[in-house]
Amino acid sequence: MSEDHAAVRIEAIEAVLVDLPTIRPHKLAMTVMNGQTLVIVRVRCSDGIEGIGETTSIGGLAYGEQSPEGAKLAIDQYMAPLLIGQDATTVQATLARMGRQVQGQSHAKAAIETALLDAQGQRLGLPIHALLGGTDLSSLPVLWTLASGDAARDVEEGLSLIEQRRHKVFKLKIGRRSVAEDVAHVAAIRKGLGDAVPLTVDVNQAWSEAQAMEGMAALQEIGLMLVEQPISGRNRRGMARLAARFDVPLMADEGFNDAQDACDIAQTGAADILALKIAKAGGLHATAKAAVVGEAAGLGLYGGTMLEGSIGSIASAHVFAAGPAQAWGTELFGPLLLKDDIVQERPAYRDFALQLPTGPGLGLKLDTDKLAFYRRKA
Ligand SMILES: [Mg+2]
């Protein structure tokens, strides 16, 4: 490239709230989702290139402390004024300068970084994963969450997805009912799908440590691939006691955000596996750093989702593909949970895997008509 990249400036940043319907109610321990709100970020640069990014949350403020509306506010009010006029090509340096005046806000930061990397990839003619070290993977395995709340319906859904060759590993969302009812629900799905189908459960912090002792003992008997965040993410000592007591691998999700957490979890033995998410870490680069710390410490890695739509899921796929292997798979099924989309060509899922787009940047294009249609009206 012969252009002077240092001359490329960030000219404008727009954050748009979009409300999309889900294909069915998604029942989690803490809430039931009937739709998903995305923040779509458009960063326009002085060379005419526009990068796009996205963030969201799970059930508004039900999963974590950051909402889509809060992310938009942080971008509009605080982040955009610090970024406009800055160098669009020195992405990490530009973000680090902004970050000195913006604490937290990992979701908003992930969306902005995605848009800057999308623009930079378009500028250089390279996919985002190539900006992060590159990959020879063309797809990532993706599990599906059975979360209708009804075991018979979940079994039917699971068998149909295996038949379609879309998913062959399933995650069950539990923690809404009593431990005994949840264990019976998991056992019914295990029976319906057969012993050969790998199952995981996510309790989303719903259990006390005593309930987890009872629940994990029973779940271990049923035969699960892993148990995700049974107790509060803040209770690392409790997680360490569970990890030491049970053979079934324990995954940290709400209790793990970034490289610093990975270091602490490794030191305290508070999990066997880390659920990586770009929204928790605060971007793609921060996710890659957390993955490397986890890998070095001998922890298992899993490619998690904040139930992002297509843009956030594909951004995650680029960093997951470029980083250390997610030996425990990924759950980048967010786009499949949504009835419609705001990108022109939706991500492809086949042979039990998400296909990585091959175009420059994210490899996705906004559908501006759909964006206008689903945009939240004042
Ligand atoms: Mg989780």
The pLDDT score that the predictor gives to residue 7 is 87
Does 11 qualify as catalytic in the annotation? no
Instruction: Please give the Cα distance from 168 to 142 (Å, whole number).
Output: 8
Are the C-beta atoms of residues 142 and 354 closer than 8 Å to each other?
A: yes
Instruction: Please give the Cα distance from 328 to 239 (Å, whole number).
Output: 19
| CATH fold for the domain made of 131-355 | TIM Barrel (3.20.20)
**Could you give the dihedral angle defined by the CA atoms of residues 362, 305, 106 and 42, in that order, rounded to the nearest 10 degrees?**
30
Q: How does pLDDT run across 133-176, given as a tens digit for each residue?
A: 999 999 999 999 998 889 999 999 999 999 999 999 999 999 99
Domains of the chain, by residue range, sit at 5-129+368-374, 131-355
Q: How confident is the model at residue 6 (pLDDT cuts 50, 70, 90)?
A: low
Say how many Å lie between the CA of residue 71 and the centre of ligand 1: 20
| Sheet with 273-276, side-by-side order of all strands | 144-146, 170-173, 199-202, 226-228, 250-252, 273-276, 300-303
Q: How does pLDDT run across 359-372, given as a tens digit for each residue?
A: 999 999 999 999 99
Say how many Å lie between the CA of residue 92 and the centre of ligand 1: 28
Instruction: Please give the Cα distance from 116 to 42 (Å, whole number).
Output: 9
Q: Which two tokens stand for residue 212?
A: 């987890």
Q: Write down the catalytic residue from 109, 171, 173, 277.
A: 173
Q: Write down the catalytic residue from 54, 228, 308, 331.
A: 331
Segment 40-67 shows an average pLDDT of 97
Q: How confident is the model at residue 4 (pLDDT cuts 50, 70, 90)?
A: low
Q: Which two tokens stand for residue 362?
A: 């994210």
The pLDDT score that the predictor gives to residue 2 is 47
Size of the chain in residues = 378
Say how many Å lie between the CA of residue 228 and the centre of ligand 1: 6
Segment 67-95 shows an average pLDDT of 98
Alpha-helix runs per DSSP H in 18-67: none
Q: Is the pLDDT of residue 1 over 80?
A: no
Does 331 qualify as catalytic in the annotation? yes
Are the C-beta atoms of residues 144 and 163 closer than 8 Å to each other?
A: no
Radius of gyration for the chain, computed over Cα atoms and rounded to the nearest angstrom: 20
The pLDDT score that the predictor gives to residue 362 is 98
Strand bridging mode 10-27 / 32-45: antiparallel
Give this prediction's pTM. 0.96
Say how many Å lie between the CA of residue 253 and the centre of ligand 1: 5
Q: Is the pLDDT of residue 235 over 60?
A: yes
Say how many Å lie between the CA of residue 151 and the centre of ligand 1: 20
Are the C-beta atoms of residues 82 and 108 closer than 8 Å to each other?
A: no
Q: How does pLDDT run across 239-285, given as a tens digit for each residue?
A: 999 999 999 999 999 999 999 999 999 999 999 999 999 999 999 99
Ion ligand 1 neighbours (CB, 5 A) are 202, 253
Domain 5-129+368-374 has CATH 3.40.630.10: no
Cα distances from 40 to residues 65, 87, 108, 149, in angstroms, run 19, 21, 10, 30
Say how many Å lie between the CA of residue 203 and the centre of ligand 1: 8
Residue for token pair 């987890």: 212
| φ/ψ (deg, to 5) at 171 | -110, 135
| Sheet with 353-355, side-by-side order of all strands | 139-141, 353-355, 349-350
Instruction: Please give the Cα distance from 52 to 14 (Å, whole number).
Output: 10
Q: Residue 139 is which amino acid?
A: S
- What sign does the CA torsion over 126, 127, 133, 135 have? negative
Residue for token pair 């899922």: 349
Say how many Å lie between the CA of residue 173 and the centre of ligand 1: 9
CA 136 to chain centre: 22
**Does residue 30 sit in helix, strand or coil?**
coil
Domains 5-129+368-374 and 131-355 share a fold: no
Strand bridging mode 139-141 / 353-355: antiparallel
Instruction: Please give the Cα distance from 155 to 187 (Å, whole number).
Output: 11
**Does residue 223 sit in helix, strand or coil?**
coil
The residue among 246, 12, 208 whose CA lies nearest residue 116 is 12
Segment 166-188 shows an average pLDDT of 97
